[in-house]
C-alpha cells in the first residue's frame, strides 16, 4: 500500500475537553451523540447491530439504544434505502448505512426516484431528513466493488447534499450537521483513512457548515482543490515543491463552494484538481469548467487534473498504480508552475 499520511495534529480549536481519536471513531462518536440527543434518530443497515458495522462505525449503538433504533437488515441495499426513505417520510431522522459505495448501485433507483426527488415531486410538502452513509474510495486492497469512488453520480443529482470529511474533527462535525439537516445527505467516508492516524477532537457536540470548503493551507502561487483521503497527499506534495501552494478541502461536493474556489484561483492564478475518481466526467471536470468560465482571465496556466484512470478500479496488486498520490500531485503542481503560454 502506498503511504498514508497521518491526520494533522489539529485543524481547529479543540477547547479544553478533547480526545485523540481516528476518523472512524469520530464517526462512531457522532452517531452516539446524535442518537442520545434526538429520539427520532435511527440507524438501518447490514451488520450495523451486534457486529457494529464492517468497519465498527456503529459499534455499541445496539447495546445502548436497542433494536428499535438500530435496525440490522439483510444484505439488500435496495431495501435498506427504500425503507429508510419511508421512515424519513414518516418523520424519523434516519441514517442508513451502505457498507461500500460499490454496493449502492442496486439502490440507485431508490436514490433517484425517492431520496433525491421526494421534496421536489411533492412540491416541498415532504422533507427527507436522512443521511446516507457510505464508505468509499480505494487503498485498502479490497475486492471488486469495495473500492469505488463514484461520487460524481451523486453530486450530479439535484436535491441532495454530498459531503466528504478528511479528518476526524471534520468527520464528527460534518456528520452531526448532516443528521440535523432537513435535506437528504450522502455522507462519504474515506475508508482508507478511517484509521489513518488520530487527532484531538472535542468531546462536546459541535457541527460544521455543510456548504463551505475548508482552507487547509494558504498559498500565493497555485491552488489545489481536493477532498477526502487525497487532502493529505495534496499537503504532502505542497511540502516538496518550490511553490507557495494553497490547499482547499472541498468538504461539500454538492453544492460546491463556488465562492471559495474562485477566490482562491483568482488569487493564485493556477489550479490543480486532485481526486481519486476516474478522470473523465469526474468532479474535477466540473471544477475545471467552473474555473475556466469565471476565472479564465486570471489563469497563468491551464487547469491540471491529477486523478484515477478511465478504467474500472483495478485489482489489489496494481491499485497503487491507479490511485493518485503525493508524487502525482507534485507532478501536477510543477506542471502548472512551469507552464508558459
Q: Give catalytic residue positions.
A: 146
Contacts for 269 with CB less than 8 Å, ≥ 6 apart: 222, 298, 299, 300, 301
Contacts for 296 with CB less than 8 Å, ≥ 6 apart: none
User: What H or E segment, with its residue span, contains residue 121?
Assistant: helix 118-121
Identify the DSSP state of 182.
Answer: S
Closest CA to 126 of 205, 169, 83, 182: 182
Closest CA to 81 of 97, 102, 101: 97
Contacts for 295 with CB less than 8 Å, ≥ 6 apart: 262, 265, 266
Closest CA to 134 of 181, 191, 179, 84: 191
**3-class SS at 5?**
coil
Cell digits for 37?
440527543
Cell digits for 336?
502548472
Amino acid at each position: 500500500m502506498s503511504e498514508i499520511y497521518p491526520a494533522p495534529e489539529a485543524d481547529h480549536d479543540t477547547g479544553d475537553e478533547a480526545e485523540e481519536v481516528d476518523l472512524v471513531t469520530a464517526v462512531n462518536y457522532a452517531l452516539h451523540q446524535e442518537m442520545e440527543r434526538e429520539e427520532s434518530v435511527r440507524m438501518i443497515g447490514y451488520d450495523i447491530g451486534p457486529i457494529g458495522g464492517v468497519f465498527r462505525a456503529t459499534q455499541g449503538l445496539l447495546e445502548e439504544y436497542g433494536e428499535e433504533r438500530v435496525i440490522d437488515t439483510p444484505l439488500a441495499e435496495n431495501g435498506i434505502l427504500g425503507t429508510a426513505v419511508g421512515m424519513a417520510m414518516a418523520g424519523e431522522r434516519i441514517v442508513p448505512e451502505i457498507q461500500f459505495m460499490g454496493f449502492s448501485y442496486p439502490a440507485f433507483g431508490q436514490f433517484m426516484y425517492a431520496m433525491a426527488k421526494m421534496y421536489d415531486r411533492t412540491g416541498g410538502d415532504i422533507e427527507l431528513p436522512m443521511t446516507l452513509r457510505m464508505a468509499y474510495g480505494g487503498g485498502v486492497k479490497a475486492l471488486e466493488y469495495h473500492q469505488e469512488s463514484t461520487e460524481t453520480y451523486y453530486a450530479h443529482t439535484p436535491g441532495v447534499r454530498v459531503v466528504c470529511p478528511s479528518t476526524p474533527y471534520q468527520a464528527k462535525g460534518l456528520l452531526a450537521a448532516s443528521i440535523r439537516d432537513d435535506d437528504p445527505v450522502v455522507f462519504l467516508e474515506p475508508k482508507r483513512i478511517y484509521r489513518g492516524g488520530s487527532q484531538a477532537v472535542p468531546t462536546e457536540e459541535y457541527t460544521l457548515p455543510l456548504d463551505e470548503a475548508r482552507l487547509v493551507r494558504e498559498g500565493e502561487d497555485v491552488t489545489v482543490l481536493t477532498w477526502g483521503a487525497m487532502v493529505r497527499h495534496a499537503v504532502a506534495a505542497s511540502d516538496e515543491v518550490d511553490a507557495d501552494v494553497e490547499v482547499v478541502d472541498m468538504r461539500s461536493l454538492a453544492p460546491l463552494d463556488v465562492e471559495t474556489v474562485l477566490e482562491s484561483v483568482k488569487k493564485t492564478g493556477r489550479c490543480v484538481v486532485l481526486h481519486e475518481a476516474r478522470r473523465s466526467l469526474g468532479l474535477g471536470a466540473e471544477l475545471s469548467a467552473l474555473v475556466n468560465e469565471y476565472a479564465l482571465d486570471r489563469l497563468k496556466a491551464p487547469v491540471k487534473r491529477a486523478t484515477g484512470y478511465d478504467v474500472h478500479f483495478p485489482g489489489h496488486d496494481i491499485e497503487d498504480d491507479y490511485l493518485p498520490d503525493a508524487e502525482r500531485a507534485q507532478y501536477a503542481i510543477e506542471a502548472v508552475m512551469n507552464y508558459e503560454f
